[in-house]
Amino acid sequence: MSFGDPNNPYGQQPQQPPQGGNPYGQQQGQPGYGYPQQGQQAPQGVPPQGYGYPQQAPQGYGYPQAPLGFAGGMPPYAGWIQRVGATIIDGLIIGVPYGLLAGIGGAVGKGVGVFLALLGFVALIGLMLWLLYQEGTTGQTPGKKAVGIKLLRESDGQPIGFGMAFVRRLAHFLDSIACYLGWLWPLWDTKKQTFADKVCSTVVVKSA
């Protein structure tokens, strides 16, 4: 009675390694774990992924965007003559109503005259605040719009807001204190700025 091979008492058949000398049983062409395939090309427009390849940074992340107002480049600075013209127009808008009411009030005298003079003063203050609001929110007063210039924040090209427009108006004191030199400074300054513009970081440019 034979019990088979004495070296294999349980009768199990020895497993044969696959042909081709691949002892791990992997088929040809299958990728291994954790290793990129050689010679495989990524689809067009898609960067290769995997080990050894740098990942492409997401678009729009980590890169500063161009300022909104100056996306196409800094507009040309407004000339001194244009700025003077805008100031004259705005001065007429403020001064004419006040002058008329104050003049008529002075001629009439007594109660009606005082009322007209007071009304002229109220109109003066109201028109000044309205001009500052227009300048701060849109960058243009009627005078600036007429001559084609605009007041903007230097850092991003946006309107400076009513508050900064009011501060800039007060800062014009610096333009007048040194024999009005600050008002003439745009004639030779590279950015055509007055002293008030430099303090408030504003520029006056030609509008599109």
Has residue 10 been placed in a domain? no
**The pLDDT of residue 16:** 56
Residue 70 within any structural domain of the chain: no
pLDDT tens track for 154-183: 999 999 999 999 999 999 999 999 899 999
Range of the domain at 198: 80-206
Locate 74 and state its tokens.
């800094």
% pLDDT > 70, the chain: 64
- Domain-located, residue 169: yes
Kindly state whether residue 2 falls inside one of the protein's structural domains.
no
191 within a domain of the structure (yes/no): yes
State the burial class of residue 13 (Cβ atoms within 10 Å of its Cβ: 0-12, 13-18, 19+): exposed
Domain contains 174: yes
| Structural domain contains residue 180 | yes
Residue 74's pLDDT band (boundaries 50, 70, 90)?
Answer: confident
Residue 49 belongs to a domain:
no
Cα distance between residue 115 and residue 106, in whole Å: 10
Position 60 scores a pLDDT of 41
- pTM of the complete model: 0.65
Give the number of domains in the chain.
Answer: 1
In sequence order, what are the beta bridge partners of 149?
Answer: 206
Task: Render pLDDT for 83-97 as a digit per residue (tens, 0 to 9).
Answer: 999 999 999 999 999
